[in-house]
Structure 1
Amino acid sequence: MDTIDRKILAELQVDGRLTLSELADRVGLSVSPCHRRVKELEKSKAIVGYRTEISPEKVGLNFSALVFITIKEGDKASLSKLEQAVDAIPQITNAQRLFGTPDYLLHVVTKDLAAFQQLYDDKLSALPGVQRLTSTIVMKDIVRARNLHF
């Protein structure tokens, strides 16, 4: 990966809807070489997808919580079951496995506290292999979906 590839990635992080022509102009290439580089970045998985960032509040998702999971067993099969179950819950917008305790951090977004409580009671507390769940309410997002800098 060279300086031009990094420029392409930086520009696409800011605006993933750029046309190839606009992108090529911004990074100082003609369209064909720019297109080849973008395809190579996709092939190498440096670019893993294109998305639209949506404001949760504007679509009625006004509640956000962080849920910490401590697991009972750390064997491969238990971890796999838990991670598959977490992946199947659409209200979990981000999930990370951590070193130390707790073992996992989930970011959950719902309509309101009542919706979160129902999700917690019905799905989160039923996750396989969980020893303890701890949650905290997000008061305010300070940084959300920040671009990577490299």
Structure 2
Amino acid sequence: MDAIDRKILAILQREGRISATDLAERVGLSLSPCHRRLRALEEAGVITDYRASVEPSKLGLGFAAIVYATLREGSRENVLAFEKALLGVPEIVQAQRLFGEPDYMLHVVSKDLATFQRLYDDSLLALPHVMRLNSTLVMKSVIPSRPFPI
């Protein structure tokens, strides 16, 4: 990856809808080499997807919580079963496995506190191999999402 690839990535992180023509012009390439670089970045797994950033409150998802999960036993089978089950809970918008305790940090969105409580009781507590859940409520997003420093 060279400086031009990094410039392409920096621009795409900020302006995902930029046309290939405008992108090529901004990085100083003609259209064809710019397309080749984009394709190579996608095939190498550097660019994993393209999506719109959405304001959750505009979708009725005005409540957010961070839920910390500790598994009873960290065996390979338990970890795989837990991680597979996470995929079935759409309100979990990000999940990270951690070193030490707790084992996971789950970013959860919902309509409101009552909806979160039902989700917690019905779905999160039912996740396989959970020993303990601790949650903290999000007061506000200070940096909801930003580009990686390239």
Is TM > 0.5 for Structure 1 vs Structure 2? yes
Deviation at 1:3, TM superposition (A): 0.1
Residue equivalent to 2:34: 34
In the TM superposition, 1:103-122 aligns within 5 A as 103-122=103-122
Distance 1:26 1:58 in 2: 33
Aligned-residue Cα RMSD (Å) equals: 0.6
- Once the two structures are TM-superposed, the CA of residue 144 in structure 1 deviates from its matched residue by 1.1
Query: What TM-score does the superposition give when structure 2 sets the normalisation length?
Result: 0.99
Q: What does residue 89 of structure 1 align with?
A: 89
The alpha-carbon deviation at position 114 of structure 1 amounts to 0.7
Measured against aligned partners, the alpha-carbon deviations of 1:120-149 in whole angstroms (never above 9, x if no partner) come to 000000110011000010001000111001
Q: Percent identity?
A: 54
Provide the residue aligned with 1:98 in structure 2.
98
Normalising by structure 1, report the TM-score: 0.99
Deviation at 1:97, TM superposition (A): 0.2
Trace 1:1-150 onto structure 2 (pairs within 5 A): 1-150=1-150
Whole-angstrom CA distance in 2 between matches of 1:45 and 1:30? 23
**Aligned-partner residue type, residue 127 of structure 2:** L
* CA-CA distance at 1:59 after TM superposition: 1.3
> 1:88 Cα deviation (Å)?
1.2
2 CA distance for matches of 1:21 and 1:5? 15
Q: Which runs of 5+ in 1 are unaligned?
A: none
Number of residue pairs aligned between Structure 1 and Structure 2: 150
Provide structure 2 residue ranges, at least 5 long, that are not aligned to the other structure: none
Question: Structure 1 segments of 4 or more deviating over 2 A?
Answer: none
C-alpha deviations, 1:32-55, integer Å up to 9, x for none?
Answer: 000000000000000000000000
Residue 87 of structure 1 deviates from its aligned partner by 1.4
Counterpart Cα distance in 2 of 1:146 and 1:88: 26
Q: Secondary structure at the match of 2:125?
A: helix
